Amino acid sequence: MARRLQPTLGEIGEAARALRQGKLVAFPTETVYGLGGDATSDRAVAAIFAAKGRPSFNPLIVHVSNIAEAARHAELPPKAQAVARAFWPGPLTMVLPRRRDCRISLLATAGLDSVAIRVPAHEIAQTLLTMTGLPLAAPSANPSGRLSPTSADHVLAELGDKAAFVIDGGPCRVGLESTVLSLLDDRPRILRPGAVTAEALSELLHDSVEVEGGTEDASAPRSPVRLLSHYAPSLPMRLDAAAAEPGEALLGFGPAAPQGALNLSPAGDLQEAASNLFAMLRRLDDPHYRAIAVMPVPESGLGIAINDRLRRAAAPR
Ligand code: TXA
Ligand code: MG
């Protein structure tokens, strides 16, 4: 069983040593917890895929501590540099061309000539990256196809036997996986919506940045992100529910939700709703119910990312 580490310099140092030895360490970021390993080691990366039961054609995100480190592995065209300066460190991943001399394991990038890179803002993730001095491949620390973990307890419950350590940084502030932005050609596209929104990116780039495809758009999967039904609890989900039907658990949103129901945000605050989403879905994912009914969340700002996760969770499996 993985040992839970406290985020002291001493214990993060212990995690850094384990990573340098090729072991796996789960650690917090501001989005969700990641299952990290040395991105330059085929053996460590293979262990991540095995731990998650993740198909090897679905590439991993590589975490680095700053823009200069990112530029050692990927090409950063001018638009990417602008995005990096505006949103790194933060809840944003960019898909960029792999540099020729890139030392990232080809397994991590699933043999593609692109690499997904993120500079996380979380202090523990930053300390760990600086202490290891390695790029860390870290997908969300959940078994493939399940909800991403937003606490150390979630990781211990589902992948506890797969990592050497889990660094406990408490609940994740954002609570949804990072925005994935593809910058492989002239037209930037969002492959996965997140806390850095299409509006914010469009404004920065003076260009309309769109969210690619949808869960039902099977014809447009440029990215492996789009190939997979994802983020699913065990129970079926019913969206845009006004109330619970018999046998259903209700997940509310806003002041109109009935008293006593779990509520993503009684005040109707999207940031609060995002940070509660996965933890509340886990709490309601109880075989005493036959389904989870979810009240509507507005389709704007961060609501776009929340609804993306809800639609995926509700997609036919
Ligand atoms: O917030 C996050 O992004 C978390 C934390 C731990 O950083 N990580 C995360 O990783 O969600 P993961 O592996 O669960 O999701 C990464 C997504 C995958 O759906 C993958 O298909 C996509 O990014 N991706 C990775 N490399 C790609 C590439 N070269 N081209 C297109 N999509 C890529
Ligand atoms: Mg994931």
| Per-residue confidence in pLDDT tens, the chain, 317 aa | 999 999 999 999 999 999 999 999 999 999 999 999 999 999 999 999 999 999 999 999 999 999 999 999 999 999 999 999 999 999 999 999 999 999 999 999 999 999 999 999 999 999 999 999 999 999 999 999 999 999 999 999 999 999 999 999 999 999 999 999 999 998 999 999 999 999 999 999 999 999 987 544 444 445 555 544 567 899 999 999 999 999 999 999 999 999 989 999 999 999 999 999 999 999 999 999 999 999 999 999 999 999 999 999 998 87
Question: How far is residue 60's CA from residue 39's CA, in Å, rounded to a whole number?
Answer: 9
Q: 155 in ligand 1 pocket by Cβ < 6 Å?
A: no
Task: Tell me which residue has its CA closest to atom 15 in ligand 1.
Answer: 139
Q: Which ligand is nearest to the CA of 90?
A: 1
Q: Of the candidates 174, 198, 231, 180, which has an alpha carbon nearest to the alpha carbon of residue 299? A: 198
Q: Residue 177: how many CB atoms within 10 A of its CB?
A: 28
DSSP 146: B
Task: State in Å: Cα 143 to ligand 2 middle.
Answer: 8
Task: Give φ, ψ of 85 to 5 degrees.
Answer: -65, -35
Q: 93 in ligand 1 pocket by Cβ < 6 Å?
A: yes
Task: State in Å: Cα 140 to ligand 2 middle.
Answer: 4
As beta bridge partners, residue 263 has 252
Task: State in Å: Cα 201 to ligand 2 middle.
Answer: 22
- The model's pTM is 0.95
Q: Residue 42: how many CB atoms within 10 A of its CB?
A: 13
Q: 34 in ligand 1 pocket by Cβ < 6 Å?
A: yes
Question: How far is residue 241's CA from residue 256's CA, in Å, rounded to a whole number?
Answer: 12
Secondary structure of residue 271 in the 3-state scheme: helix
* DSSP run (H or E) holding 311: helix 302-314
